[in-house]
Amino acid sequence: MPPTRRRPPIRWSTRIAGGLALLVITASGVGHAVLTGVSGAIDRVDAFGGMEGRPDGSKGTNFLLVGTDGRDGLDPAEKKAYHLGGAPCHCTDTIMLVHLSADRSRASIVSIPRDTYVRLPDHPSASASPTAPVTPASSPPPSSSSSSSDPSASGTANAAPATDAQPDTHPAKINEAYADGGPKLTVRTVEQMTGVHIDHYLEIDFTSFMKTVDVIGGVQVCTTRPLKDSYTGLDLPVGTSKLDGGQALQYVRARHLDAAADLGRMQRQQRFMAQIIHKVTSGGVLANPLELSKVASTVLGSVRADQNLKSSDLIDLAEGMKNFSAGSSEFGSVPLSDTDYEVDGVGSTVKWDTAKAGKMWAAIRADRPLAVHHAKKKHKGVKVDVAPATIRVSVENGTDTSGLAATAQKALAATGFATVGTPGTSEHRSERTVIHYDPGWDRSAASLATALPGAELVAVPGQGKTMRVTLGTDFKAVTPVTADPGSTGTEDTPLTGDDVGC
């Protein structure tokens, strides 16, 4: 019997955009008086006290930005209007690592999936001690329904290797770290998985996110298709829309718009953050001292930060980032090897691609850009709506041509699809290539069909997120496809802020 999957709490995303706004506002050359006057309003948390065995520091400055589902200060009418019913789970559903380069010319923002598989200590109060391990799960115990044989889950070469028998730990998703041990365990978990030393911690909730968006006069977003999500109340037409704080919260929370689910939502979060950077750096906010003071007071008074973040730190950032712009930011997500890895007692988790994630964190530690290759890279292939990296595909051969399934699977993987399992042989011969898919993943199926011209789409309710391809005698070759970087983007192709904006 497959394990019972725990229904995840409703996800509230990217309150941390307000935290990013805090960093961007400092880029304006904010006066000493403004920063010194409002920094005392920041609510402080102990994010580092007593921690030992931490990674060495690196060039630049690293912030860990997290979003929680706190909603204090919202009245019943607002909660109803923006679908914020229910009790908070007191967990982090959004985690991003922001690296500001040593020369203050670049911000690298990496999204860490909340469903990342980890092993957390059974006694979180001891998490500051190196004897209480918080390790990436490189050998998680799979459930009987697991579709992957790859034991790798971690993307850092610096982390101590995990073993099947880890005393005093339990399997979990990374967003449980906050519920178990607060900011300190969250910081420790990220540091051990990435090998990146965290210098500062910023936390923001529903209320502060909405206030941040409202105080800067709203933020524009653009979409090439209607976005409607009954869970959050989001309802946007095709084109460009200006969102206030409540509408922005709906936009960044939405996870029922497409099959990409949380991965697609992370991409929307990044586009939204790019628009915040554009709004703050190109609008009149930075040129008007009174307006700037109001924005800075709202943002700084709405976040929780570590005890070491001082007004002098903000002033130093301000002096070093005066020429910061949307193009100075770059966005990426941790590369994944499996987006649906079942673990008993935990449910569906995601595993990091060891080699690719390791290179990403190494670049952060070395203060190197993530998106340099993107500027030189020509995107070849037909544009598709859903990033191939988020689409799981299994292949079987419905012809008499030996090795055809293996050839097709290799070609699908080469163009970016997440191929799973061993190529098989169909029990029935087929003249036409067929894609069996769950109706809930129709956009993913359409994107896959672009790579397999002429394929027949057959809906199979309840099949799940994996597309099942049966090759027919009509199959000739896989057509290369690529996600449009202006609307999606993948963890393997970090983008600059001016690429992902409207």
* pLDDT level of residue 477 (50, 70, 90 thresholds): very high
* pLDDT level of residue 202 (50, 70, 90 thresholds): confident
pTM > 0.85: no
Average pLDDT, rounded, for the chain: 74
The DSSP annotation for 330-360 comes to EEEE--EEEEEEEETTTEEEEEE-HHHHHHH
CA separation (Å) from 374 to 83, 331, 332, 379, 493? 38, 11, 11, 9, 7
Looking at residue 441, its pLDDT comes to 84
Q: What are phi and psi of 150, to 5 degrees?
A: -75, 120
pLDDT digits (tens, 9 = 90+) for 30-80: 444 555 555 556 778 899 988 989 999 888 999 998 876 555 555 666 656
E strand residue ranges, 122-204: 135-136, 169-173, 200-204
Looking at residue 146, its pLDDT comes to 38
Looking at residue 165, its pLDDT comes to 42
CA separation (Å) from 362 to 59, 99, 217? 12, 12, 38
- Who contacts 401 (Cβ-Cβ below 8 Å, separation ≥6)? none
Looking at residue 285, its pLDDT comes to 60
Looking at residue 90, its pLDDT comes to 58
> What is the dihedral angle through the alpha carbons of 315, 319, 325, 330, rounded to the nearest 10 degrees?
-70
- Who contacts 116 (Cβ-Cβ below 8 Å, separation ≥6)? 173, 174, 193, 334, 349, 350, 351, 352
For residues 111 and 194, the model is more confident at 194
Strand 382-384 relative to strand 481-483, pairing: parallel
Q: Which domains does the chain have, with CATH numbers?
A: 16-113+187-334+353-377+487-500 (3.40.630.190), 383-483 (3.30.70)
Beta pairing partners, 418? 392
